[in-house]
Amino acid sequence: MGARIVGTGAALPQRCVSNAELAGSVDTSDAWIVQRTGIRTRYLLGEGETPSSLGVTACRRALEAAGRRTEDVDLLVVATTFPDMTCPGTSAFVAQDLGLEGTPFFDLTAGCTGFVYGLAMAGAYIAAGLGERVLVLGFEALSRVVDWSDRRTCVLFGDGAGAVLLERGSSEEGILGVSLRGDPSKALLLHTPAGGTRRPASHATVEAREHFLRMEGSGVFRSAVPLMREAMDRALHAASMSREEVDWIIPHQANVRIIDAFADRLGLPRERVVINVDRVANTSAASIPIALDEAVRDGRIRPGHAVVLTAFGAGVTYGAVALRM
Ligand code: UT7
């Protein structure tokens, strides 16, 4: 039994913010951001917007593309690092707004690798015969958790959501190989010090700005290429597929320099790599499904194409899925 993607959808906030606009409030410049990251714009939620509503829109679009209704969904998996509330999970709000009744739902936290982990779990759920269709959503509202006075992080991220509907199919189609990995020795490369149960929010933690995301950028940067490479090669091996057979690679969209180095070291032609980080910035767990949806809708990725999704993120988690559309 296999599981294949039968519909994709994405949603971005309305407000598009340029580097020049950010440079008006943070000590940075368009030139620095473009040279170091390739990012030119990002989409940010407005003050009154509810983050999970983006996820609901992405799910609706994926269902519509698949020609399915909410009643057809057997499981909802929401990959997100920063939920709407710490309890309950964002999946409860997404399920509520979609009108799911009795359908199981859960959040999955695996940093920027969350969507890849979620897709693999959804495929395993279907393969185990537990359901026929799983909606997998990658969703983040990073603008609400970055420190807007910290130029080392705030310029890098954007908000967004991307979803796929995974449906039972034959074993020759859909997900063909998976590799999920982790390196917990790097757990603090990306972290939010306070607000969890280890260090609950207090006046002191808020004053020390410990409820904002912190990142050791160069440590993450150095790890990114080898980790994505290892995961991709393992997933291709599991799929009995060579790099040459892959039509499209969708790496996590964190930084154009990371994507370029990844493609160069693996000898992958840039025309086969999907890149949108220049426009949407790093949307963490949403980055791969947003890029996938763009490439499906503009006709680059077509039925029958072999695609590899590969990511790394907080944890450190990393992983890849090789599939046939
Ligand atoms: O999704 C997974 C999570 N994140 C990532 O994947 C991010 C991975 N890391 C990166 O993309 C890069 O490490 C960054 C883009 C974050 C930083 O690039 P870098 O080339 O590693 O720069 P750096 O951190 O070594 O900083 C170089 C200089 C520093 O100044 P000094 O100490 O040399 O005077 C920074 O203070 O650039 C400064 N700087 C900035 N300057 C202007 C850092 N951020 C900015 C900024 N604008 N926004």
pLDDT tens by residue, 16-70: 999 999 999 999 999 999 999 999 999 999 988 889 999 999 999 999 999 999 9
- How far is the C-alpha of 306 from the C-alpha of 180, rounded, in Å? 19
Ligand 1: nearest atom to the Cα of 255:
11
Same fold, 2-171 and 176-324: yes
pLDDT of residue 170: 86
User: Ligand 1: which residues within 6 Å by Cβ?
Assistant: 28, 32-33, 36-37, 112, 151-152, 155-156, 190, 215, 217-218, 220-221, 224, 254-255, 282, 284, 313
Name the active-site residue from 59, 154, 252, 255: 252
Q: Whose C-alpha lies nearest to ligand 1, atom 16?
A: 217
* Three state DSSP letters for the chain: CEEEEEEEEEECCCEEEEHHHHCCCCCCCHHHHHHHHCCCEEEECCCCCCHHHHHHHHHHHHHHHHCCCHHHCCEEEEECCCCCCCCCCHHHHHHHHHCCCCCCEEEECCHHHHHHHHHHHHHHHHHCCCCCEEEEEEEEEHHHCCCCCCHHHHCCECEEEEEEEEEEECCCCEEEEEEEEECHHHCCCEECCCCCCCCCCCHHHHHCCCCCCEECHHHHHHHHHHHHHHHHHHHHHHCCCCHHHCCEEEECCCCHHHHHHHHHHHCCCHHHECCCHHHHCECHHHHHHHHHHHHHHCCCCCCCCEEEEEEEECCCEEEEEEEEC
Q: What is the pTM of this model?
A: 0.97
Identify the band that residue 288 occupies on the pLDDT scale cut at 50, 70 and 90.
very high
Looking at domain 2-171, what is its CATH homologous superfamily? Thiolase/Chalcone synthase (3.40.47.10)
CATH architecture of 176-324: 3-Layer(aba) Sandwich (3.40)
**Atom nearest to 112 CA in ligand 1:** 1
The structural domains of the chain, with segments of one domain joined by +, span 2-171, 176-324
Q: What is the mean pLDDT of residues 134-141?
A: 97
